[in-house]
Structure 1
Amino acid sequence: MVQNTAKRAIRGSVRIRGAARCGENDGVTRVVGRQGRVTGRIGPGLVGEVMVPIRGGVEAFYAYPSVPDEEIPVGSIVVVVEYSPPRSVYVARAIV
């Protein structure tokens, strides 16, 4: 009886976490194209930070400018251009 319960719990968690069933296998399609807000200055020689709304919440990503030598100050709105798993993104300023 205990074994059946354990199998159900494992099977249930796989079902919940099964985002790949929706065709989103590695998260790229979920991150690229999203807008975020800069929380750590982005610039040449710096590792910035952006907060991106994703998966029902907001997550932090290390951020690099997609245009070399561009500086993006804290508070700016950016668009994710490229995603490098697990937590790095290349961003460009959003036209708002």
Structure 2
Amino acid sequence: MVGELGRVTGAVGPGLVGEVMVRVRGGAEAFLAYPAEPGERIERGTVVLIVEYQPPRTVFVARAYA
């Protein structure tokens, strides 16, 4: 899971529980998402890199492209 790319479907940021869609096992699944950098806000539609995974469905993400 760590190192995979996903797309934000619900804004990720302080005080928010965001959502990221990630390709898994030939399909796409939703994961709860938090920013890897405290205080960072990542808008819907942004491609992100998963930097930490906490089973069963939580990920910490950073922007994939600057």
Opposite residue 93 of structure 1, the aligned amino acid is R
1:65 to 2:35 alignment = yes
Structure 1 residue 74, shift from structure 2 partner: 0.2
Q: Report the TM-score, using the length of structure 1 for normalisation.
A: 0.67
List gaps (5 residues or longer) in structure 1: 1-30
Hey, what's the Cα distance between the residues in 2 that align with 1:62 and 1:94? 17
Deviation at 1:33, TM superposition (A): 0.4
**Counterparts of 1:86 and 1:46, CA distance in 2:** 19
| Structure 1 Cα separation of the partners of residues 25 and 35 of structure 2 | 24
Number of aligned residues: 66
User: 2:62 matched to which residue of 1?
Assistant: 92
**Aligned equivalents of 1:92 and 1:79: distance in 2?**
5
The separation in 2 between residues aligned to 1:32 and 1:75, in whole angstroms, is 20
Structure 2: gaps (5+ residues): none
1:36 deviation in Å? Answer: 0.4
1:40 aligns with 2:17: no
Identity of aligned residues (%): 64
Moved beyond 2 Å, runs of 4+: none
Q: Which has the higher contact order (CA 8 A, sep 6+)?
A: 2
Larger radius of gyration: 1
Determine which structure has the larger strand proportion and give its number.
2
